[in-house]
Amino acid sequence: MTTERQTDAAATVIIGRRVRPGMDRAYEKWQDEVNAAAARYAGHLGVQVSPPTTVQPDWVIVYRFDSVAHLQAWMNGATRQRLLDAGEPYFDGPATQQVIRGGTQPTDPLVTVVVTHRVPPDHVDDFLAWQRHMSQEESKFEGFRGTEIFRPIEGIQDEWTTLYRYDNAEHLDAWLTSAKRREMLAEGEKFNDFKLRTIDNSFGSWFAFEENGKEAPPPSETKTAVAVWVGLYPTVVILSLALHPLGMPLWFGLLVGNLLSSFIMSFFTMPHYVNRLLRRWLWPSPDDPPARTNLVGGAVVTALLLFWVVVFYLVTEVFWTLP
Measured distance CA(56)–CA(262) in Å, rounded: 21
> What are the backbone dihedrals phi and psi of residue 5, each rounded to the nearest 5 degrees, phi first?
-105, 125
Taken in order of first residue, the domains within the chain and their CATH numbers are 2-207 (3.30.70.100), 221-319 (no CATH)
Helix, strand or coil for residue 130?
A: helix
The sheet that has 160-166: what strands, in order across it? Answer: 2-5, 144-150, 160-166, 111-117, 194-200
Tens digit of each residue's pLDDT (9 = 90 or more) over 6-26: 334 578 888 888 899 999 999
Provide the residue type at 116 as one letter: T
> What are the backbone dihedrals phi and psi of residue 40, each rounded to the nearest 5 degrees, phi first?
-85, -5
What is the pLDDT at residue 205? 42
Provide the residue type at 285 as one letter: S
Q: Residue 121 contacts by C-beta under 8 Å, 6 or more apart in sequence?
A: none
Q: Helix 221-243 and helix 250-264: axis angle, to 10°? A: 130
Measured distance CA(138)–CA(157) in Å, rounded: 26
Q: Kindly report the CA angle at 173 between 167 and 178, in degrees rounded to 5?
A: 120
Measured distance CA(132)–CA(2) in Å, rounded: 7
The model's confidence at residue 2, banded by pLDDT at 50, 70 and 90, is very low
When the pLDDT of each residue in the chain is averaged and rounded to a whole number, the result is 79
What is the pLDDT at residue 6? 37
Burial class of residue 88 (count of CB atoms within 10 Å of its CB; 0-12, 13-18, 19+) = exposed
The model's confidence at residue 248, banded by pLDDT at 50, 70 and 90, is confident
What is the pLDDT at residue 55? 61
Tens digit of each residue's pLDDT (9 = 90 or more) over 92-150: 877 777 777 655 444 445 677 778 888 888 888 888 889 889 888 888 898 887 777 77
8 A C-beta contact, residue 273 and residue 231 = yes
Q: What is the mean pLDDT of residues 248-277?
A: 85
* Residue 14: Cβ within 10 Å count: 21
Measured distance CA(101)–CA(107) in Å, rounded: 19
8 A C-beta contact, residue 6 and residue 102 = yes
Reported as half-sphere exposure (CB side, CA atoms, 13 A), residue 177 has a value of: 6
Measured distance CA(196)–CA(176) in Å, rounded: 11
Tens digit of each residue's pLDDT (9 = 90 or more) over 290-314: 888 889 999 999 999 999 999 999 9
Question: Does residue 202 have a pLDDT over 50?
Answer: no
Provide the residue type at 49 as one letter: V
247: left (phi over 0), alpha (psi -120 to 50) or beta: left
Q: What is the mean pLDDT of residues 265-282?
A: 83
What is the pLDDT at residue 249? 87
Provide the residue type at 252 as one letter: F
